[in-house]
Structure 1
Amino acid sequence: MRFPRMGQIIQIQSYKHDGTLHRVWEETMVLKGTQDTVIGANDQTLVIESDGRHWRTKEPAITYFSTKEWFNIICMIRQDGIYYYCNLGSPITWDEEALKYIDYDLDIKVYPNGSYKLLDEDEYSLHKRKMNYPKKLDNILKSHVQELIDWIKNKKGPFNPSFVDKWYSLYKKLVRN
């Protein structure tokens, strides 16, 4: 499978377990695209919800997606520091139309001081019952919540302070050119 290349503008689409479209991010610039990882950046990009509502992101963000991990990470660059929004979801696929994944409701928000909070457990429980998540999937997601918490605590990957600096610098350079 080929992956998007550096400088390419792509769309990101998230779906629910039942196959319905959940959310679309219209434009993200690819900073790195390999068979394992796609790192991107966007700023004030249009986001379209499944019900037709739309809004724009408020700040620049670096995005981290994996073909192996059951989560993705959005690093939001704000005046008072970097906030992280982590979505528990399937590993990504790329089909030349968009980067795609299934969103499994559970999220972790990480604050600039390193503290974090698990979100949307009630939504996860509801969809787990409603969409009949298999036990194996439930186990995978719960183990990846723990893996993600380990990444946060150990400042691994996108949680390493140099990660955002490196990729945001590249993004600004590509935008200037």
Structure 2
Amino acid sequence: MSPAPGTTIRIESFKHDHSFHRSWDKTTLIHTSDAVLIGGNDRVKVTESDGREWRTREPAICTFGRGQWFNTIAMIRDDGIYYYCNIGSPFSLKGNLLSYIDYDLDVKVYPDLTYSILDEEEFALHSRQMNYPPQVTERVRQAVQEVIDWVQARRGPFQNGFVERWYERYLLVRVDEG
């Protein structure tokens, strides 16, 4: 059973070797279903593996599809919506902690829905260092293509109005994230 909308969760990502990668201090759940978990946050503390901390600069809507090998962070900026799509294992939700394994590759999608694939070198390096199994490497490559297909089809979080609708809902259910 998932926590109810309005609940604050913590998001943590790890690397394939189970080492800590990054955490997002507070995200407010907006929607949970058998298919998807949607959350929102604004100016939350992010902690990196080296201990460095920083705050996000804008509101964001995060989408985690159950069983999906990617998640999306839609950042709402003055000049449009930017998406950062993390390629990673399907998420796990235990209590108020959502976690997943980050597999290095990211797809950055711009407001005009053009995109770029980031961190190919990091993926190649970590793949060798941590001995990613061939099925993981293949699944990661499939996930990158799936993100691109979704962008081109305007599916899921890339649909017209999706982020705006969920941001309005977030404003209604959020708790103080200071």
Match of 2:62 in 1: 63
Consecutive unaligned residues in structure 1, runs of 5 or more: none
Distance in 2, matches of 1:110 and 1:6, equals: 27
> Which residues of 2 match residues 12-161 of structure 1 at below 5 A?
12-161=11-160
Q: Which residue of 1 aligns with 2:161?
A: 162
> Residues 3 and 35 of structure 1 are in contact (CA less than 8 Å); yes or no, is this contact kept in structure 2?
no
CA 1:41–1:176: 2 relative to 1, 3 Å: closer
| TM-score, normalised by the number of residues in structure 1 | 0.96
Query: Alignment partner of 2:102: what SS?
Result: strand
Bigger shift: residues 27-36 or 104-113:
27-36
Offset from partner CA, 1:8-66 (integer Å, 9 cap, x none): 00000000000011101000000012233110000000001111100000000000012
Amino acid at match of 2:171: K
The answer to whether the Cα contact below 8 Å between 1:74 and 1:86 also exists between their aligned partners in 2 is yes
Q: RMSD value over aligned CA atoms?
A: 1.3
Query: Which aligned runs of 4 or more in structure 1 are off by greater than 4 angstroms?
Result: none
Distance 1:176 1:72, change over 3 A: closer
Aligned to 1:174: 173
Shift of 1:97: 4.3
- The residue number in structure 2 matching 1:8 is 7
Amino acid at match of 1:24: S
TM-score by length of 2: 0.96
SS in 1 for 2:161: helix
CA drift of 1:108 comes to 0.5
User: Residue type matched to 2:113 in 1?
Assistant: G
Change (3 A) 1:62 1:22: same
Q: Give % identity.
A: 49
Distance of aligned partners of 1:176 and 1:4 in 2 relative to their CA distance in 1, 3 Å threshold? closer
Task: Identify unmatched segments of 5+ residues in structure 2.
Answer: none
Greater relative contact order structure (CA < 8 Å, 6+ sep): 2
* Partners of 2:6 and 2:172 in 1: CA distance: 11
